[in-house]
Amino acid sequence: MRSDYWDQPAFETIRPRRPVSPLVFNSPHSGKVYPERFLAMARLDHLSIRQSEDAYVDELFARAPHLGAPLLRAHFPRAYLDVNREPWELDPTMFVDSLSDRFNTTSPRVAAGLGTIARVVAENKPIYRERLTMDDARMRIEGIYHPYHAALQKLMSEAMTHSGIAILIDCHSMPRIGRNGERATPDVVLGDRYGTTCAAPLIDLVETAFTTAGLKVARNRPYAGGFCTRSYGRPQHGVHALQIEISRHLYMNEVTLEKHSGFATMKTVIDSLIQTLIGLDLVALATNRVGLSKAAE
């Protein structure tokens, strides 16, 4: 089956002119290029199908390559393919073909309709008119998912070669948590899988950057980090991974998906965070013995 992205790139690596940092930024859910064939298969209107996007997150972190760290960003949307899942985390009810035991069909994410190929978007709205074929799944997973992770692994390996450590910053957005605009709900959630994927001084530093900007920060609840954070974060081997979730209400209208005046403010906060991280001796910070012992607990 010909790729839905045969005439355009499914994702993009934006490299700095000269790498100066062990940081690698990843925006796997900000894609907004919807193939015509996919839209024809969907029962949702164009705005509804976009509700799962981490809209504009790649733009919020776009300064990273200019400051010396690469940015990998998806062009395909999350509703089409989710690279923050296991490669074959599939819902058997979505397919005409029977799925063999080699597929993960029983995970909580599959049960929620949010496997590698999602069944629903936000608010539990079904995506497809009809069931898919395994040829479609293979086209997306073998043709896009695996190359995406190969590109991410290459960036992490290059950072390790250059700096002796590698730090993945997995960039996401989240729906506003809580009701009635309660200020106690977090603006940012940092996920390190409860201290297992990132040295403590690194997450402490990122939390301080956000709180100094006046934002309410939580750790690991309700988002502890997905497949990328869990798979790439190996602090004991010098590879760290931290997930950042930013509340969408800070920079966009969650109904219309349009940016509002807060976007420029949030972009300034993120730019400052990136500049701070790149300006520090992250090797010394990440190899702090206290930090590593806490991350291994």
A 10 A CB-CB count for 148 gives: 20
Residue 123 has a pLDDT of 84
> Quick check: 291 pLDDT over 90?
no
Q: What is the gyration radius of the CA atoms in the chain, in angstroms?
A: 19
The CA angle 45-40-103, to the nearest 5 degrees, is 100
Model pTM? 0.94
Q: Which of 51-55, 65-69, 121-125, 131-135 has the lowest mean pLDDT?
A: 121-125
Residue 49 has a pLDDT of 96
Can you name the residues that pair with 168 across neighbouring β-strands? 24, 241
Q: Give residue-wise pLDDT tens across range 146-188.
A: 999 999 999 999 999 999 999 999 999 999 986 555 556 899 9
d(CA 171, CA 73): 10
Residue 11 has a pLDDT of 98
d(CA 60, CA 55): 10
Residue 30 has a pLDDT of 98
> Quick check: 261 pLDDT over 80?
yes
Query: Measured between alpha carbons, how far is residue 181 from residues 52, 115, 184, 207 in Å?
Result: 21, 30, 9, 22
From the options 3.40.630.40, 1.10.760.10, 3.90.640.10, 3.40.50.1370, give the CATH code of 11-295.
3.40.630.40
Residue 105: pLDDT band (50, 70, 90) is very high
